[in-house]
């Protein structure tokens, strides 16, 4: 099933929407309740520019698996981009992601972006997040361990 998700993500990155959708439908046939599949669907919707649909997919992934770190980060990113949400909500998603996976550079980087945009946060907070994210990115394996 994870192979279908990985392949869908590759097709999404290549803007081959139909091929990505086929992979996701194959995955759905195997397991209709998969946080990873909902996350990949969110990535596809986000790449197509359908941000509200992407947000719904990420939230469905979190309904299935509340600790799904990629969906926590992507939810925070979409909410930050769309605006209208309070910064504490976005920060909550990112800090939850970091609590669950301290070595996730994307969570640290996005938290840094959040601090940078927040006038009430110090520049030092943002810089520390960016520095930690850079160090984690440098030491991260090429492929995640499964």
* pLDDT single digits (tens) 38-87: 999 999 999 999 999 999 999 999 999 999 999 999 999 999 888 866 78
Domain count of the fold of the chain: 2
Residue 77 covered by a domain: no
146 pLDDT exceeds 70? Answer: no
49, burial (CB in 10 Å: exposed 0-12, middle 13-18, buried 19+): exposed
Residue 125 covered by a domain: yes
Structural domain including 115 reads 87-146
Residue 51 covered by a domain: yes
Q: Tell me the average pLDDT across 99-126.
A: 82
CA distance 91 to 81: 13
96: CATH: 1.25.40
CA distance 64 to 117: 31
Distances (CA, A) of 3 to 71, 81, 126, 127, 138: 18, 30, 36, 36, 26
With vertex at residue 113, the alpha carbon angle to CA 109 and CA 116, rounded to the nearest 5 degrees, is 135
Write down the pTM of the prediction: 0.85
Same domain, 11 and 42: yes
């Amino acid at each position: 099933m994870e192979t279908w998700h990985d392949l869908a993500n590759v097709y999404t990155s290549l803007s081959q929407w139909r091929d990505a959708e086929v992979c996701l439908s194959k995955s759905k046939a195997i397991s209709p309740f998969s946080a990873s599949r909902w996350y990949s669907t969110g990535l596809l919707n986000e790449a197509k520019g359908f941000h509200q649909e992407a947000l719904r997919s990420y939230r469905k992934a979190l309904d299935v698996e509340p600790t799904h770190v990629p969906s926590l980060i992507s939810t925070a990113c979409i909410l930050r981009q769309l605006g209208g949400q309070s910064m504490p909500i976005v920060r909550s998603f990112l800090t939850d992601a970091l609590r669950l996976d301290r070595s996730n550079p994307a969570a640290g980087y996005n938290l840094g972006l959040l601090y940078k945009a927040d006038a009430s946060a110090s520049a030092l907070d943002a810089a520390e997040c960016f520095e930690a994210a850079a160090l984690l990115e440098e030491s991260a394996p090429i492929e995640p361990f499964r």
